[in-house]
Amino acid sequence: MRTVRITAKTIEVAVEEGLKQLGISREEAVVHVVEQPSSGLFGLIHKKMAVVDISAPDEEIPEEPAEEPKAEEKAEPLQEAKPEEKPEEPAPAPEEKAVEKAKEETKDKFVFKQEEQDKTAEEAKKFLASVFKGMHLDVTMECMMNEERILLNLHGEGLGILIGKHGQTLDALQYLTNLAAGKAFHHHYFVLLDVENYRERRKDTLEALARRLAGKVKRTGEAVKLEPMAAGERRIIHLALQNDGAVTTESEGEAPHRYVVIRLKD
């Protein structure tokens, strides 16, 4: 099998270049994406190119019998070979089945281990340190843990860039941190990021907003629609008003533009 490895800005460009070098069509090629392209964290650092292996399979050579078969004997194996020449869907890769099975088994048998959580926390701090170094930020990481989560509270000057509008940048950084730190133990140990206790302040702000808008709904009798929020922030609104006997809350709309509606109970 002839194989070329192409590095390009996108997977499509890499595939086209590989097909050109091998002189084959897209239908003949076997394409394996080695590395997905990435624009980098916040579009600033760790940019990655697409890396793709394109292969031209060798022609299959049928096994030859020891003696030349007679003409009538040749027809039968050719008939049996026809279904194999047009598989419409490739069979699932054995390694993919094994990975999924391992994940399910690991999930069912998960037992909390302090040393695994400690290792996850160290990997998270190592990843974040590389990010902050690339952004030229001086950050102190305060780590607190229980069996439910690892909390890394970040302290330093000028860290507003890590929060973003309504915490969107912080949520993105948290997601990447969990990807980087949780691979070894199938993401059993969740890493929560905070900046100068921003999440607690934001929670207090949202709870106060929920109570104020609920009061407006009671006074006017009209439903109030909040601005789109992430799932975690919508949950804060729901919990803040769950014991209010006069109003009810519902999430409406499609992600990522889902929002909370507060209305009077029927």
Q: What is the pLDDT of residues 41-85, one digit of tens each?
A: 544 444 567 777 777 765 443 444 444 444 444 434 434 444 444
What pLDDT digit, counting tens, does each position of 57-67 carry? 654 434 444 44
Residue 97 lies in a domain: no
Residue whose C-alpha is closest to residue 113's, from 190, 193, 185: 185
Which residue is associated with the tokens 């000057």?
157
CA 80 to CA 62: how far, in whole Å? 13
- 188 plus 246 within the same structural domain: no
Degrees to nearest 5, angle at CA 142 with 107 and 191: 20
- 192 plus 244 within the same structural domain: no
- 169 plus 203 within the same structural domain: no
Q: What is the pLDDT of residue 2?
A: 72
Residue 93 lies in a domain: no
More confident residue, 25 or 170: 170
- 11 plus 39 within the same structural domain: yes
- 122 plus 171 within the same structural domain: yes
Quote the number of domains for the chain: 3
Residue 102 lies in a domain: no
- 205 plus 173 within the same structural domain: no
- CATH number for the domain including 191? 3.30.300.20
CA 221 to CA 265: how far, in whole Å? 10
Residue whose C-alpha is closest to residue 126's, from 185, 191, 171, 172: 191
Q: What is the dihedral of CA 157, 163, 169, 170, to 10 degrees?
A: 90
Residue 13 lies in a domain: yes
- 172 plus 208 within the same structural domain: no
- 172 plus 143 within the same structural domain: yes
* Range list of β-strands (E), 91-227: 140-145, 150-155, 191-195, 224-225
- 240 plus 187 within the same structural domain: no
- CATH number for the domain including 233? 3.30.1370.50
Residue 86 lies in a domain: no
Residue 254 domain boundaries: 199-264
- 177 plus 204 within the same structural domain: no
Residue 209 lies in a domain: yes
- 172 plus 222 within the same structural domain: no
Q: Sorting pLDDT into bands at 50, 70 and 90, what band is 22?
A: confident
Residue whose C-alpha is closest to residue 258's, from 234, 224, 236: 234
Residue whose C-alpha is closest to residue 181's, from 206, 220, 138, 152: 152
Average pLDDT over residues 232-261: 94
User: Which one of 21, 36, 58 terminates a domain?
Assistant: 58
pLDDT-wise least confident of 29-33, 135-139, 211-215: 29-33
What values do phi and psi take at 17, rounded to 5? -65, -40
What pLDDT digit, counting tens, does each position of 178-207 carry? 999 998 888 899 999 999 999 999 999 999
Residue 127 lies in a domain: yes
User: Which one of 146, 165, 196 terminates a domain?
Assistant: 196
Q: What is the pLDDT of residue 47?
A: 59
Degrees to nearest 5, angle at CA 255 with 254 and 258: 70
Residue 84 lies in a domain: no
User: Which one of 165, 196, 227 terminates a domain?
Assistant: 196
Residue whose C-alpha is closest to residue 223's, from 259, 197, 190: 259
Residue whose C-alpha is closest to residue 42's, from 216, 161, 144, 200: 161
